[in-house]
Chain A
């Protein structure tokens, strides 16, 4: 597809965005989770007056501060990229993307310049209660800050609450609440922040395990494991629950992506949920694209139908149904969507021609059509399909989607087990007798990072070819700039972010080795 677009440029622009987003996401989730753990510890300190809880709060706050400071503003680079590499997209989305990002920017600025400062500089200078309130506001504010970014991202996955204005070539927000409470945004926000809570808990659990293994800071470690164990267990259960609701919303909003998660090619009733599976290339094809078959799979019978449709008789469409259509199930083929999208695009071209010929009446009529709900729902909704050459272009990388999804889910269940075991050993008083578990907990600090990054790979790669679902493919969104400049900045970012990561890890390891102040 997109014969007149330099695919090197598209690929490098995507690679650069992926690199910066992946690095950015190494810093964010720890801020989301650890801030709440610190707030809980400080609350216990204020309630009990026990100085050990204060010492613990200060210690974890140090690690929070290092991560927060090194990660701060790394997300701004993504905004630079929108203006330089993705200018067509940035213009097309108009204020829908800009408004949530602006709110996030203002919120983050006030949060960082006031309450974070009170958190770190305010011990013994403000009252205990005011300090505690500031710590909670940092935790709540950081998570609310994430909300606006996720609202913007969710709009790309499920564009709602807007109307396209052909005069400005931009989408304009007509319903802020529809954008904010977009069902993809709600489930994405809850899933993302709960995964951050989980990551923060695993971080605390792992470092506490390190202290126990080193025979240091026994009380701090045990109390931290208690908080991390409870908070982590609840968070990991919430991650599974919100993951399930996320998948349900995807089944409606992005059905091809959902089918790719499960490598489900042929829709069926009684569809089973694959727990584990291995894929291989098959001889079958959809258009020119190869199909993957299972070498083996272990399934929960009917569970996919029950999860998505509420009963085992519910039909779950496969990739084949979604590409070629399924009349019996009322699924429109992609070829029809291409025709409708092309109709919307032709009308846009007609609008432009009318404007150039000063035919204001015709231009006005077409502009009114774009505002009409019926036209928006039946034609403009498929605008992005006009850029496709073949129906099978809508199929993402199925193997990648399948494996990233299943590894992420397996890790999710492993985390539940780990937090449950941590609490079990803690209450039985056998943590020190189970050093294997402490070693596993220490190693597991990395795993929620892996799961979180896989989640983003899945969310973004699984929705290909779209940058805005059904409205704009990535290739139409990219700026026509030399690929060489994107490659240069890709290398610059790789170096900069790697240095930041090395700085964070080395300062953090040093502080962990020093331990809390006595």
Chain B
């Protein structure tokens, strides 16, 4: 158990030191990554990209029924 805790501490320390001693460009790209992920997952995904079938149909049966209709009647 002690070994696992020590290993975990070393891993955490590794990342902590890595982020702390990051260069100018490293800090800049991390900022960009965080802004990008925020826009993608908390703005685009939630407000603009709902899953069409999950949003409009509750069960898989209803979804397959809808797609079946689309496949049969799309002409």
Chain A residues engaging chain B, CB cutoff 8 angstroms: 2-5, 62, 65-66, 69-70, 72-73, 76-77, 80-81, 83-85, 87-88, 90-92, 117, 120-122, 125, 166-170, 345, 348-349, 352, 386-387, 389, 475-476, 479, 481, 485, 488-489, 492, 496, 500, 503, 507, 510-511
Return A501 CB to nearest CB of chain B, in Å: 11
Q: Which 8 A-B pairs have the closest CB atoms?
A: A121-B18, A87-B52, A69-B29, A80-B49, A83-B51, A479-B52, A169-B68, A169-B67
Q: A77-B44, A352-B68 are in contact. Are A91 and B53 (CB under 8 A)?
A: yes
A166 and B68 in contact (CB under 8 A), knowing A70-B29, A81-B49, A84-B49?
Answer: yes
Q: Which residues of B contact A479 (CB under 8 A)?
A: 52
A505–B28 alpha-carbon span in the complex (Å): 13
Contact A121 B15 (CB under 8 A): yes
Q: Are B64 and A169 in contact, with the CB atoms below 8 A?
A: yes
* Closest partner residue, chain B, to A503 (CB atom): B32
A73-B64 contact, Cβ under 8 Å, with A88-B70, A387-B74: no
Q: B36 to chain A: which residues have CB within 8 Å?
A: 70, 73, 496, 500
Which residue of chain B has its CB nearest to the CB of A166?
B68
Q: Which residues B36-73 have CB closer than 8 A to chain A? A: 36-37, 39-40, 44-45, 48-54, 60, 63-65, 67-72
Q: Which residue of A lies closest to B74 (CB)?
A: A476
Known: A87-B52, A117-B18, A169-B64. A77 touches B72 (CB 8 A): no
The chain A residue with its CB closest to the CB of B50 is A84
Q: Are A348 and B72 in contact (CB under 8 A)?
A: yes
Chain A residues, Cβ within 8 Å of B44: 77, 80, 489, 492
Contacts of B67 in A (CB 8 A): 87-88, 91-92, 169-170
Chain B nearest CB: distance from A457 CB in Å? 24
CA distance A77 to B36 in the complex (A): 11
A-B contact pairs, 19 of them (CB 8 A): A5-B74, A65-B25, A66-B25, A70-B33, A73-B33, A80-B45, A80-B49, A81-B49, A83-B50, A88-B70, A88-B71, A117-B15, A121-B18, A122-B18, A125-B17, A169-B68, A348-B68, A476-B70, A492-B48
Q: Take A4-B74, A476-B71, A507-B25 as given contacts and tell me if A83 and B48 are in contact as well, using a CB distance cutoff of 8 Å.
A: no
CA A120 – CA B45 in complex, angstroms? Answer: 30
Q: How far is the CB of A260 from chain B (nearest CB, A)?
A: 25
Which of B32, B49, B50 makes the CB contact (< 8 A) with A500? B32
Least Cβ–Cβ distance between B57 and chain A, in angstroms: 10
Closest approach, in angstroms, between the C-beta of B11 and any C-beta of chain A?
10
Q: Enumerate chain B residues within 8 angstroms of A387, measured Cβ to Cβ.
A: 74-75
Q: Report Cα–Cα, A79/B33, bound state, in Å.
A: 18
> For the complex, what is the distance from the CA of A80 to the CA of B18, rounded to whole Å?
32
A91 and B32 form a contact (CB under 8 A): no
The answer to whether A2 touches B75 (Cβ under 8 A) is: yes
Is B75's CB under 8 angstroms from A386's CB?
yes
Task: Give the complex CA separation of A4 and B74 in angstroms.
Answer: 7
User: What's the least CB distance linking B5 to chain A, in Å?
Assistant: 19
| A167 / chain B contacts, CB cutoff of 8 Å | 64
Whether the pair B40, A76 counts as a contact (CB closer than 8 A) is yes
| Known contacts A69-B32, A168-B60; A120/B26 CB under 8 A | yes
User: Is there contact, CB below 8 Å, between B14 and A125?
Assistant: yes
User: Which chain B residue has the least Cβ–Cβ distance from A476?
Assistant: B74
B49 CB to nearest A CB, Å: 4
Is B74 touching A83 in the complex (CB atoms < 8 A)?
no
The CA-CA distance from A167 to B37 in the complex, in Å, is: 38
* Structural contact, A507 and B29, CB atoms closer than 8 A: yes
Contact A169 B71 (CB under 8 A): yes
Minimum CB–CB distance for A164 against chain B, Å: 10
**A84-B50, A125-B17, A169-B67 given; 16 more Cβ-contact pairs under 8 Å:** A66-B25, A69-B30, A81-B49, A83-B50, A83-B52, A90-B53, A120-B26, A121-B18, A168-B60, A169-B64, A348-B71, A348-B72, A352-B72, A476-B70, A500-B36, A510-B25
Tell me the minimal C-beta distance from A360 to chain B in angstroms.
16
Tell me the nearest residue of chain A to B29, going by C-beta.
A69
CA distance A62 to B22 in the complex (A): 11
